[in-house]
């Protein structure tokens, strides 16, 4: 039961980060700069990191290859959410980050096995 809940959390987080990262990668850098008042190149990098992190939450477990990458992806996404919380002041990135911490914590045995 707990494993199914964890997979559901991973799936939701993966969908969120794949969408958010994909949108950042698809949008023109100038449009990103206007919305966030940050460097477009930096925001493209964040989008790439979010997209890769979203893939890292799902693919290792589904393919049973390098499953220890899942907690590492979750930790990387936590770092991004810390920055997003600090910049935006919104509690939403903090909540998303807490869910990513849960994934990192409960998938850590896969990290030790790798």
Domain range annotation of the chain: 2-113
Mean pLDDT of 27-38: 92
How far, in Å, CA of 100 to CA of 28, rounded? 28
Question: What's the predicted TM-score (pTM) here?
Answer: 0.92
% of the chain beyond a pLDDT of 70: 96
Q: Provide the pLDDT confidence category of residue 67 given band limits of 50, 70 and 90.
A: very high
Give the up-direction half-sphere exposure of residue 2: CA atoms within 13 A in the CB hemisphere: 4
- Which comes out higher in pLDDT, residue 37 or 6? 6
Q: What is the mean pLDDT of residues 98-108?
A: 96
Confidence of residue 21 (pLDDT cuts 50, 70, 90): very high
CB of 10 closer than 8 Å to CB of 61: yes
Residue ranges in the chain assigned as alpha helix (H): 2-26, 29-36, 40-63, 69-88, 91-106, 108-113
């Amino acid at each position: 039961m707990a494993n199914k809940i964890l997979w559901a959390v991973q799936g939701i987080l993966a969908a969120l980060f794949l969408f958010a990262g994909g949108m950042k990668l698809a949008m023109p850098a100038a449009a990103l700069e206007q919305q966030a008042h940050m460097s477009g190149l930096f925001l493209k990098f964040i989008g790439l990191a979010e997209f890769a992190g979203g893939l890292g939450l799902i693919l290792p477990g589904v393919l049973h290859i390098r499953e220890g990458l899942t907690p590492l992806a979750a930790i990387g996404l936590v770092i991004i959410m810390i920055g997003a919380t600090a910049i935006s002041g919104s509690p939403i990135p903090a909540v998303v980050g807490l869910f990513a911490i849960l994934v990192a914590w409960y998938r850590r045995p896969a990290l030790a096995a790798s």
